[in-house]
Structure 1
Amino acid sequence: MRVLFVAAPGVGHLMPAVPALWAAQEAGHAVLVATTGPSLEMAARSGLAAVDVCDGDAADTYHRLGVRLAKNRPDRYDLPGAWRRFAGTSDLPGPATADPPPGPAPDDAAALARGVGGRLVDRTVDLIHRWHADLVVFTTFLSGGQLAAEAAGVPCAMHGIGLPYPTFSAVLSAMEDVCARHGVTGALTPPAATIDPCPESMRPPGSATGWPMRYVPYNGGAVLPDWLCVPPRRPRICVTWGSVLPAVGCTSMLRDVVEAVAAEETEVVLTADGPEVSGPGPLPPNVRAVGWVPLSALLPSCAAVVHHGGSGTTFTALAHGVPQLVLPQTADQPVNAQAVVERGTGMAFPDRDIDRGALADGVRRVLTDPRIREACRQVRDEISAMPGPGQVVRRLSEAVS
Structure 2
Amino acid sequence: MPPELGVARRLVDRGHRVIVLADETLTDQVRSVTEDFIPFSVSWGQFQDWRLRTPTSLLRGMVGQLFVGPAPTQARDTAAAIDRFRPDLVVASFSAVGCMIAAESRGIPFDVLLPNVYALPVEGMPPFGAGLKPAVGPLGRVRDRLATGASTALFDRYALAPINDLRATHGLDAITHSWDQLHHARRELVLTAAAFDFPAKLPQNVRYVGPILDDPTWAADDGWTLPPGNERLVLVALSSTFQDQSECIQRIADALGGLPVRGLVTTGPAIRADAIRAPKNVTVVASAPHREVLPQCDAIVTHGGHGTVMKALAAGVPLVILPHGRDQADNATRVVERGAGVTVSRRARAERIARKIAEVLDHDTYRRAAAKLGLTISTTAAAPTLIDELESIRKSD
Corresponding residue of 1:21? 8
Given that residues 272 and 286 in structure 2 are in contact (C-alpha distance below 8 angstroms), is that contact kept between their aligned partners in structure 1? no
Alpha-carbon separation, structure 2, partners of 1:31 and 1:108: 31
1:224 aligns to 2:221 (yes or no): yes
Give the equivalent residue in structure 1 for 2:195. 201
The structural deviation recorded for 1:226 is 7.3
| Correspondence for 2:367 | 373
Aligned residue identity for 1:196: V
Query: Of the candidates 27, 31, 55, which is equivalent to residue 40 of structure 1?
Result: 27
Match of 1:5 in 2: none
TM-score, structure 1 length as denominator?
Answer: 0.77
CA contact (8 A) 1:103 1:332 kept: no
For residue 252 of structure 1, report the CA deviation from its aligned partner.
2.8
- Contact 1:23/1:390 (<8 A) preserved: no
CA spacing shift, 1:279–1:291, aligned 2, 3 Å = closer
Partner of 2:168: 180
**2-side partners of 1:162 and 1:151: how far apart?**
27
Describe the SS at the equivalent of 1:21: helix
How far is the alpha carbon of 1:38 from its aligned partner?
Answer: 4.1
Name 1:137's counterpart in structure 2: 91
- Superposed CA deviations along residues 50-71 of structure 1, whole A, max 9, x for unmatched, are 2101322x2x1xx2x32xx313
1:318 matches 2:313: yes
From 287, 293, 310, the equivalent of 1:292 is: 287
1:156 deviates by 0.8
Query: CA 1:384–1:332 in structure 2 vs 1: closer, same or farther (change >3 Å)?
Result: closer
Deviates more, 1:328-337 or 1:390-399: 390-399
Residue identity in the other structure for 2:92: F
Q: 2:184 aligns with which of 183, 190, 208?
A: 190
Query: Which of 148, 153, 158 matches 2:112?
Result: 158
Displacement, 1:260? Answer: 1.0
The answer as to whether partners of 1:117 and 1:145 remain within 8 angstroms in 2 is yes
Q: Does 1:213 align with 2:167?
A: no
CA contact (8 A) 2:232 2:298 kept: yes
Task: Measure how far apart 1:208 and its partner are.
Answer: 3.2
**Structure 1 stretch displaced more, 120-129 or 390-399:** 390-399
Is contact 1:19–1:389 with CA below 8 Å preserved after alignment?
Answer: no
Query: Quick one: structure 1 residues 16 and 48, their matched pair in 2 at CA, closer, same or farther if it must change by over 3 Å?
Result: farther
Please say if 1:53 is aligned against 2:40. Answer: yes
The residue that corresponds to 1:147 in the other structure is 101
* Distance change in 2, residues 1:180/1:250 (3 Å): farther
Cα distance change, pair 393–236 in 1 and its aligned pair in 2 (3 A)? same
Check conservation: 1:242, 1:310, Cα contact below 8 A: yes
**Alpha carbons of structure 1 residues 389 and 144: separation in structure 2 relative to 1, 3 Å:** farther
Aligned-pair CA distance for 1:155: 0.3
Q: Partners in 1 of 2:20 and 2:228 — Cα distance?
A: 37
CA offsets 1:229-250 (integer angstroms, 9 cap, x no match): 899732221112212226xx44
1:244 to 241, 244, 253: 241
Letter in 1 for 2:75: V
Look up the SS of the partner of 1:166 in the other structure: coil
Q: By how many angstroms is 1:177 displaced?
A: 4.1
Q: CA separation in 1, counterparts of 2:21 and 2:383?
A: 20
SS at match of 1:386: helix
| SS of aligned partner of 1:183 | coil
**Within the alignment, does 1:108 sit opposite 2:108 as a pair?**
no
Partner of 2:135: none
The amino acid across from 1:365 in the alignment is E
Distance 2:253 2:305 in 1: 18
Matches of 1:123 and 1:265, distance apart in 2: 55
Q: Return the alpha-carbon distance in structure 2 between the equivalents of residues 296 and 165 of structure 1.
A: 27
CA distance in 1, matches of 2:228, 2:249: 26
**Aligned match of 1:81:** none
- Aligned residues of 1:328 and 1:337 also touching (Cα < 8 A): yes
Deviations 1:337-363, CA, capped at 9 Å, x for gaps: 22221222111113x522222110110
Alpha-carbon offset, residue 385 of structure 1: 2.5
CA distance in 2, matches of 1:387, 1:51: 29
- Given the alignment of the two structures, is residue 253 of structure 1 paired with residue 248 of structure 2, yes or no? yes
Look up the match of 1:94: none
- Could you say which residue in structure 2 is the equivalent of 1:70? 50
Quote the Cα distance in structure 2 between the aligned partners of 1:172 and 1:121: 16
For residues 312-351 of structure 1, what are the alpha-carbon distances to aligned partners after superposition, in whole Å with 9 as ceiling and x for unaligned? 212221222211111111222221222221222111113x
Residues in 1 aligned to 2:57 and 2:367: alpha-carbon distance in whole angstroms = 32
RMSD: 3.1
Query: Aligned equivalents of 1:70 and 1:137: distance in 2?
Result: 28
Give the gaps of 5 or more residues in structure 1.
1-13, 75-101
Structure of greater relative contact order (alpha carbons < 8 Å, 6+ residues apart): 1
Separation of aligned partners in 2, 1:266 and 1:349: 19
Give 1:165 deviation, angstroms: 1.7
Number of residue pairs matched by the alignment: 350
* Contact residue 215 and residue 319 of structure 1 kept, 8 A: no
The partner residue of 1:271 within 259, 266, 275 is 266
Q: % of aligned pairs identical?
A: 22
Deviation at 1:381, TM superposition (A): 0.9
